[in-house]
Structure 1
């Protein structure tokens, strides 16, 4: 059986290897938020960045209501997440699954879900997706939008700057289809660009560069695959 994987973060512009099909769609009952700490991709252990995760909408709203910063970060109308479904041929399914498990090891849990197409009908069932859980060590919860935007504007890691990750994600969500606008991503992007235009940028001190270089070298030994 071919493997189906839903991408909603960097997988939108860094596809899984060996895919034979790529299809637009969305999942229901989830919110996409920059609520996951990143100490190995868009930040460092001493200065983590933030990356996107998806959380069950009801869990997120309940959590946000009880959190001091929740009201500033809540988009209560968000209950669907646009992304793409990758189809991987059966002969590569095991290797790609192992690659994704390793890639998403920092605070994600796998689930199997239905994915809807632009026509609002179920297009795929039993699709693999990596979901953030509120109790995982990398989950940071809601943060004031201004503080979150400042962190994204001023952090970097072995995979690049934090703002580049956000900008690429927002752009590729827009490109999925005419209906795929994500108001949260658009609002956050605008705020980060305000800081960027004001001159805020990731630090370039030698200590930070050395840490990032060390992380890059360690990542070079990780599981790597190339698209067939």
Structure 2
């Protein structure tokens, strides 16, 4: 038996901006978690003075305990991509991801599920995943959709506009599989695009 493959599960920007030295990738999902824009971004989609918002994973039962009235109470599946990294570059990719996910994320090992012949089953055991736990300093928690959407819509950081992160992620998740819907992402995307339209209408009315 050889050494265990280094597999990383991406559920946020890693879906549309994969890590380097990937030799295989497989769409799949996590069970018992929610993906929420509940993490401050001081370094990519915001600034230290005005942090943006990026996604993290939260255990469903933990989220239910402190989220108040979550508008999507039945969501507990998070779709993403499991990336197998070339073993020759494992150390390099670990360092790269540790730096990229340094703003409050912790490394965990999780089982990745897939749908095989119409049946849900674990397709990868113990994939590595960066999770912003609810006790990390950048965790912001639950915010009303309208307030959160407005914050995302106006935030900008060194990696670009916060809303572009949302739009890219929403589009990437939809492409993963016929079943890969995310109610939280869809609601935020819809509201931010409404804000885009309102801004365009306002611009057109200016002399």
Q: Give the C-alpha shift of residue 45 in structure 1.
A: 1.1
Give structure 1 regions of 4+ aligned residues with deviation exceeding 6 angstroms. none
Report 1:59-208 matches (<5 A).
Answer: 59-64=62-67, 70-71=68-69, 73-119=70-116, 120-199=120-199
Secondary structure at the residue paired with 2:34?
Answer: strand
Would you say the 8 A contact 1:27–1:114 is kept in 2? yes
TM-score (norm 2): 0.91
Would you say the 8 A contact 2:42–2:103 is kept in 1? no
Q: Distance in 2 between matches of 1:56 and 1:107?
A: 16
Q: Give the C-alpha shift of residue 74 in structure 1.
A: 3.8
Q: Give the C-alpha shift of residue 17 in structure 1.
A: 0.4
Q: Distance in 2 between matches of 1:29 and 1:135?
A: 19
Aligned to 1:11: 14
Aligned to 1:35: 38
Hey, which of these two has a bigger chunk of strand by percent?
2
How many residues are aligned here?
A: 194
TM-score (norm 1): 0.83
Gaps of 5+ in 1: 65-69, 201-228
User: Deviation per CA, 1:109-156, whole angstroms, max 9, x where unpaired?
Assistant: 111111011331111011000112111000000111111000111111
Q: Give the C-alpha shift of residue 90 in structure 1.
A: 1.4
Q: Give the C-alpha shift of residue 184 in structure 1.
A: 1.1
Secondary structure at the residue paired with 2:185?
Answer: helix
Aligned to 2:54: 51
Give the CA RMSD over aligned residues.
1.1
Q: Distance in 1 between matches of 2:105 and 2:60?
A: 16
User: Deviation per CA, 1:139-179, whole angstroms, max 9, x where unpaired?
Assistant: 00011111100011111111000000000000000000100
